Structure formats: C-alpha cells, structure tokens
Amino acid sequence: MKRIEQEEHWPESWKTSFTYDLLEIYGEKQCYGYAYAYANRQKAALELIQSVAKPGDKILDLAAGQGNFSLFLAEAGYDVTWNDIREELIPYVQLKHESGKLSYVPGNIFELGINQLYDAVLITEVIEHTAHPDEFLQKVALLVKPGGYIVLTTPNGGYFLNRLPRFSDCSDPSIFESVQFGPNSDGHIFLLHLDELMSLSQKAGLTVVETRLLTNPLTNGHLKTEGLLRYLPPTLINMLENFTGHCPLFVRKKLHTNLAALLKRSS
C-alpha cells in the first residue's frame, strides 16, 4: 500500500480519511486507545477472512471507507470489491492502491443492484450504524454464495460501559432511520449483544461459526487509561489483552469493547 501525504486541495472527506489513516496504517498514535483497538479489529477480521477464503476468491468489503481492509486483501491476492456510500472516496483509495485486483461499486447496500455473489463479505464497524440490523444482515447474506462467509466486527453491546439500547428491546426501529449511516461512534444506534447476533444470524440463514471478544478497557484507553498507553510497552499491553481474552465468557462479555464474528451462509 502506498504511503500518501495530505494536500491542501483535498476535499474534507479525504482529509478526514487521512486523519484516520495516520492512526490506522501509518502508526502515528495521537490517540493510542483508538490505534490499539483498530489493530485488534484488523487482526481479527483478516485472520477470519484468511481462515475460510483462499487467494483469488471474490471478497466484497462493504462500507469500506478509506479502503484499508480492501487494499490489504487485494495485496494478499484476493479479488476485492470496495463499496461505500461516499463515491468521492474512490480516487482517495486509488492513490494508496499499489498492487492486487480491486474494483469499486459505490452506493447504499439497501439500494445496490449487485448481480454477483461473493465468496466472503466483510462488514467492519457497520451494522451498529443501521436502524434495521436484522434487515441489513439479511441483505448482506444474499450477497454471499451458498456455503460462503461473512466476517463482521462491531462494538460489543455487553460491554459494561455501553449505554445504548438493545435492538431486540426496540419496538419501532424505524424512528432511527433518519440518523442511520452516520460516521464514527456518533452514528452508533444499537450495539449488538452476543445473543442478539446469534438470533439475527439464524433469521438471515446464517450460522455463527466463531466469535471473538476483543479489546479491554486498558487497550481501548477507557477509564482514563489513555495516558498510560503512551508509556507502557506494546508487549505488555498485548500481554494484558491476551490475558483478558482467556477469561471466562461471562467476564469477557462485560470486559471487552469489540466483537468479531465469522458467519456462514447455508449451502
């Protein structure tokens, strides 16, 4: 992936994307908690994709933003399709594209007329921005070949600091339609709990193959630990992350901020 530098004439959406790239791929940790949490999500998502898809397989990266997952997967030999509602980001992604097969299909997933099926679909930090996560997952499932996979990451609704409602407790999610697809954490509507993910997956004709709970409060910079992350060695932070990752499930559900899942469409 090519390293790029910000230019004054860029549109605001490019400048915002570059700010995230500084944290996510260029290693400039102005916000240490975000950088560590992103690294955990990226590692989990790519490992899950690579566990079920081989180079040459067709991968759809939904709501892919500045395209870093798309670019990593293209460079790893996958046939990748980038998607986002912000069509103006395509030239920004193209600036970073160095190798691999990468095509672009901009638009809203609920309105797109995609005529092919994919071996795997990647949806990272997307479903929490939708007013109808059940309909969203059902729509995504239709884009996957029978026997194919979805890799999903999303904030963990069971995290002890989460104050957002459960989707299953909302009698009329349509009231959130006007604010769905909002950017960043300000656009979160529902944060899914593990049991809700199981239920929504089943209704969409999907089987939950694997789940991972990621990123404890220290790693994420919560509970005023952001300052500590500036001074603690990464090896220690990763050791603590690994330790909490081996706690009993009921502890991990409360202690970890993020959820990664591998879902399989019925054959």
Sequence-ordered strand ranges (E) for 116-229: 118-124, 144-155, 206-214
Paired with 144 in beta bridges are: 118
For 141-177, how does the pLDDT look when each residue is reduced to its tens digit (9 = 90+)?
999 999 999 999 999 999 999 999 999 999 999 999 9
Please calculate the CA angle 9-14-15 and round it to the nearest 5 degrees: 75
Question: Which of 85, 131, 124, 127 has the alpha carbon at shortest distance from 104?
Answer: 85
Say what the pTM is. 0.94
CATH topology of domain 12-213+253-265: Rossmann fold (3.40.50)
Token pair in block for residue 250: 């009921």
For 211-261, how does the pLDDT look when each residue is reduced to its tens digit (9 = 90+)?
999 999 999 999 889 999 999 999 999 999 999 999 999 999 999 999 999
Please calculate the CA angle 69-72-73 and round it to the nearest 5 degrees: 85
How would you classify residue 181: left for phi > 0, otherwise alpha for psi between -120 and 50, otherwise beta? left
What length does the chain have? 267
